[in-house]
Amino acid sequence: MCVMRMKENPLLVCADVKPSRPDFTVVGVFNCGGVRTEEGVTLVCRVAEMCSDRGDGVIRIPHVETGGTIGAMEFNRSDPRYDFTDPRAIVERDGRRVAALSSMSSLRRAFAPDGVHFVCDDTPLFPLDPRSEEWGAEDPRITRLEDGQYAMTYSSVSRNGVGVSLALSDDLVTWNRQGMILPPANKDTVIFPKKIDGTWWMLHRPILDGLGASDIWIASSSDLVHWGGHQHLAGCRTGQPWEMRKIGAGAHPMEVDAGWLVLYHGVDEKEHYRVGALLLDKQDPRSVLARTPQPIFQPEEPYERNGFFSNTVFPCAAWIEGDEVVTYYGGADSCVCGARLSLSDIMDSLVYGRRAL
Amino acid sequence: MCVMRMKENPLLVCADVKPSRPDFTVVGVFNCGGVRTEEGVTLVCRVAEMCSDRGDGVIRIPHVETGGTIGAMEFNRSDPRYDFTDPRAIVERDGRRVAALSSMSSLRRAFAPDGVHFVCDDTPLFPLDPRSEEWGAEDPRITRLEDGQYAMTYSSVSRNGVGVSLALSDDLVTWNRQGMILPPANKDTVIFPKKIDGTWWMLHRPILDGLGASDIWIASSSDLVHWGGHQHLAGCRTGQPWEMRKIGAGAHPMEVDAGWLVLYHGVDEKEHYRVGALLLDKQDPRSVLARTPQPIFQPEEPYERNGFFSNTVFPCAAWIEGDEVVTYYGGADSCVCGARLSLSDIMDSLVYGRRAL
């Protein structure tokens, strides 16, 4: 499997991103949606921020207050009521409820004419919604639709859970928000670039625990805003340790001769994130034709192995250029990276047939 | 609070329901949707069945196999890998995943010209879908829509989780299935009887653990099948022990002068189910106007206190007759019961204003 990481990796790190306020610190720029246009590559990055450390043992996390102003939630690191061991969340020891995320993310546009040397906007793409995004917006995916519009899905996070919201744009600059298209707990939603059989389709990933697993589902829509026809599409495979715990779509499905190619992430028992591929039927994307038994891309470089959430490659943007799949991905929940994967290698790695799925 | 239980309660018990196969045993008939028509009251009941006990210490649970035939999952009661203490599910001790429900439910029509003496059909309303309902269909709610159609939501249960499906009918006998309208994990979905501001609305209840709670959400649709605009509507109240753990809509919202009245269930730390009421704005049901601080209806009678899942009253059907709310409800996950609640008492119990919500 030929994976060519961009030699300029990581392409964006915290130091490249201006905090959205002078008293904030950027703690991650990662998990970006993206598209190539004639002018270059536009990414929309997840930028995670905390209030700057005052050295007083207090963790201060920005959040959106009712009315839209940004306030800070405070947690004393020595407070025995909270468990600070998960780098992504502060959890109540009593009851294991999430008291806060460890940072607040918002979405930031970055642009590079050459697809390598990105400059990140100094301000978020849009202000967050105090009701549904009190704790942030995360992990955008962008699809250029057949009608020329751009559709962006992203996670809206609040004390009420993580749901999936949609925004539409004609120019990748002005975004029209369309509300929450999937209620909590859901993530990792990607929209197909064109209608199939007269309808829009998307993949999504319910977050399940106990009854059901965090698998990939598919749904359909006539207007991109209202969704139904939900069906389970592909599950974790207990026989494949690298993806036995969770799987979720990475970038939007890419049309190839054999069907729809989907990069997806698989999560193992140690919460390491690798990448596999699915092939869906071109006429009926509810049918899985083939799947890669082994990861096609996995954390190897220092910027993928060590970071805010280590041992993670997390692609949210991908498209085909010639015989290559170009992907932009988050490295260790810390930085934005790029890679080129051989399309024919991916196609050769797919195993067809019911037993392979 | 005046609650008049029907003196014939329970109205339907296991012995009144013919097993759907000779080798099955009915272990519950409960949680029924329902409507009143000129002819009488039609209920659609959840009927839970197990394979008959052969006295060999093996629990056999029906399930729908690929292709639609009914098979049996077998669990030895002495198998140390499983925890059998939750009467509703068999749980793997290692990892706490649900290995099976403790029974399989399907939907069964029952009819009573007088609304009291019900006769239950001998066969399920429709065969279950092997993909999404391998483990059963549960907790139906029926709304008569302003166009005369009947819309039924119910839980579709499989190894992939519990989602919400929709079926439509013109006559309460033939149902046209519309697929899954909400992916797992979700339940307790009720559709408003008419369009408000040109759109259909429904309440639903994501099942959340960790980040967010099992609260009531609202969504909108133009066609009843595809849903968007999801918003958090009303949450558990930690200050009210009777509903601190979960809440969920009971029957469909009822139009009263002051707004939309919703009976909902509240669950306490001991998993006892009681009933409260919400009042939503008539023009914008996303706005909660008032709520009852205390339950308006709770388990008191033996058939509500003792059963398959004890201390539970669970209304899924309700409508207004004069100054009464007539409700049909499940008692202790075992039987179908009926009650009449004073509408003016409910309205007087509502407390208005932000602090009451």
Average model confidence (pLDDT) across chain B? 96
- Mean pLDDT on A227-236: 97
Read off the tokens for A102: 């460890």
CA distance A69 to A130: 8
Task: Say if residue A100's pLDDT is above 90.
Answer: yes
Q: Among residues A224, A225, A240, A231, which one has the least CA distance to residue A206?
A: A231
Read off the tokens for A263: 């990069």
CB A282, CB A251: distance < 8 Å: no
> Closest-CA residue in chain A for B206?
A184
CB B66, CB B174: distance < 8 Å: no
ipTM value for the complex = 0.96
- Mean pLDDT on A236-264: 95
For residue B100, what are the contacts with CB-CB under 8 A and spacing of at least 6? B61, B63, B73, B75, B89, B90, B135
Q: Among residues A107, A125, A129, which one has the least CA distance to residue A47?
A: A107
> How many residues does the structure list for chain B?
357
Q: Please name every residue paired with B15 in a beta bridge, in sequence order, or none if there are none.
A: none
Read off the tokens for B16: 């009144």
Q: Which residues of B touch A184 (CB under 8 A)?
A: 206, 208, 211-212
Measured distance between the N- and C-terminal CA atoms of chain B, rounded to whole angstroms? 20
- Tally of CA atoms within 13 A in the half-sphere of B73 that contains its CB: 19
CA distance A64 to A73: 10
For residue A220, name the pLDDT band (cuts at 50, 70, 90): very high
CA distance B244 to A357: 42
Task: Return the DSSP state at A317.
Answer: E
CA distance B210 to A214: 15
B127, amino acid identity: P
Task: Give the nearest partner residue to A228 out of B98, B157, B227, using CB atoms.
Answer: B227
Read off the tokens for A112: 């590079």
State the residue for tokens 């306030």.
A71
- Cβ <8 Å between A212 and B159: yes
CA distance B218 to B227: 10
pLDDT of residue A68: 86
pLDDT of residue A204: 98
For residue B122, name the pLDDT band (cuts at 50, 70, 90): very high
Task: Say if residue A356's pLDDT is above 80.
Answer: no
Q: How far is A225 from chain B (nearest CA, A)?
A: 6
CA distance B174 to A302: 61
Task: Say if residue A176's pLDDT is above 80.
Answer: yes
Q: Which residues of B touch A178 (CB under 8 A)?
A: 228
For residue A357, what are the contacts with CB-CB under 8 A and spacing of at least 6? A234, A288, A290, A291
- CA separation, residue B298 to residues A152, A161, B138, B254, B260 (Å): 46, 29, 22, 20, 22
Task: Return the DSSP state at A100.
Answer: E
Task: Say if residue B174's pLDDT is above 90.
Answer: yes
For residue A111, name the pLDDT band (cuts at 50, 70, 90): very high
Q: Is A153 exposed, middle or buried (0-12, 13-18, 19+ CB in 10 A)?
A: buried
- Cβ <8 Å between B231 and A132: yes
Count Cβ–Cβ pairs < 8 Å, chain A vs chain B.
138
pLDDT of residue A106: 97
Q: Which residues of A touch B219 (CB under 8 A)?
A: 183
pLDDT tens digit sequence for A23-52: 999 999 999 999 999 999 999 999 999 999
CA distance A158 to B212: 8
- Three-point CA angle B346, B348, B339, nearest 5°: 20
CA distance B305 to B265: 16
- Cβ <8 Å between A231 and B96: no
Q: Which fold would CATH assign to domain B3-352?
A: Tachylectin-2; Chain A (2.115.10)
pLDDT of residue A121: 98
A242, amino acid identity: W
Q: Is A66 exposed, middle or buried (0-12, 13-18, 19+ CB in 10 A)?
A: exposed
pLDDT tens digit sequence for A273-319: 999 999 999 999 999 999 999 999 999 999 999 998 899 999 999 99
> Closest-CA residue in chain B for A204?
B183
Read off the tokens for B129: 């879908």
CA distance B156 to B131: 10
CB atoms within 10 A of CB B38: 4
Strand (E) or helix (H) holding A349: helix A343-349
pLDDT tens digit sequence for B15-28: 999 999 999 999 99
pLDDT tens digit sequence for B63-111: 999 888 898 999 999 999 999 998 889 999 987 889 999 999 999 999 9
Show the 3-state SS of chain B: CCEEECCCCCCECHHHCCCCCCCEEEEEEEEEEEEEECCEEEEEEEEEEEECCCCCCEEEEEEECCCCCEEEEEEECCCCCEECCCCCEEEECCCCCEEEECCEEEEEEEEECCCCCCEECCCCCCCCCCCCCCCEEEEEEEEECCCCCEEEEEEEEECCEEEEEEEEECCCCCCEEEEEEECCCEEEEEECCCCECCEEEEEEEECCCCCCCECEEEEEECCCCCEEEEEEEECCCCCCHHHCCEEEECCCCEEECCEEEEEEEEECCCCCEEEEEEEECCCCCCCEEEECCCCCECCCCHHHHCCCCCCEEEEEEEEEECCEEEEEEEECCCEEEEEEEEHHHHHHHCEECHHHC
- Cβ <8 Å between A161 and B230: no
Q: How far is A214 from chain B (nearest CA, A)?
A: 9
- Three-point CA angle A132, A135, A141, nearest 5°: 75
- Cβ <8 Å between B160 and A209: no
CA distance B193 to B197: 13
pLDDT of residue B350: 97
Q: Among residues A170, A178, A227, which one has the least CA distance to residue A200?
A: A227
B224, amino acid identity: L
- DSSP characters over A222-242: SSSSSBEEEEEEE---TT-GG
For residue B301, what are the contacts with CB-CB under 8 A and spacing of at least 6? B5, B9, B331
- Mean pLDDT on A325-349: 97
- Cβ <8 Å between A211 and B162: yes
- Cβ <8 Å between A181 and B223: no
Q: Among residues A107, A112, A139, which one has the least CA distance to residue A126?
A: A107
pLDDT of residue B238: 82
pLDDT of residue A357: 81
- Mean pLDDT on B20-40: 96
- Cβ <8 Å between A163 and B96: no
Q: Which residues of B touch A159 (CB under 8 A)?
A: 212
- DSSP characters over A120-177: E-SS-SSPPPTTT-TTEEEEEEEEE-TTS-EEEEEEEEETTEEEEEEEEESSSSS-EE
Determine the 3-state secondary structure of A69 from DSSP. coil
- Cβ <8 Å between B212 and A185: yes
Task: Return the DSSP state at A14.
Answer: G
Q: How far is B64 from chain A (nearest CA, A)?
A: 16
CA distance A60 to A102: 9
CA distance A79 to A69: 27
Q: Which of A205-214, A348-357, B290-299 has the highest mean pLDDT?
A: B290-299
Task: Give the nearest partner residue to B184 out of A97, A212, A229, using CB atoms.
Answer: A212
- Mean pLDDT on A106-112: 98
For a pLDDT cut of 70, what percent of chain B falls above it?
100
- Mean pLDDT on B210-220: 95
- Cβ <8 Å between B229 and A225: yes
Candidates B160, B214, B223, B233: best to mutate against A (most CBs of A within 10 A) is B160
- Mean pLDDT on A5-34: 97
CA distance A32 to A105: 12
- Cβ <8 Å between A229 and B159: no
- CA separation, residue B341 to residues B227, B272, B297 (Å): 32, 20, 8
Candidates B188, B223, B226: best to mutate against A (most CBs of A within 10 A) is B226
Task: Return the DSSP state at A116.
Answer: S
For a pLDDT cut of 90, what percent of chain A falls above it?
91
- Cβ <8 Å between A132 and B213: no
CA distance B5 to B206: 30
Task: Give the nearest partner residue to B212 out of A96, A182, A184, using CB atoms.
Answer: A184
Give me the residue spans of the domains in chain B.
Answer: 3-352
Candidates A211, A217, A223, A225: best to mutate against B (most CBs of B within 10 A) is A211
Task: Say if residue B184's pLDDT is above 90.
Answer: yes
pLDDT tens digit sequence for A65-89: 988 889 899 999 999 999 999 888 9
Q: Is the pTM of this model over 0.90?
A: yes
Q: How far is A61 from chain B (nearest CA, A)?
A: 16
Average model confidence (pLDDT) across chain A? 96
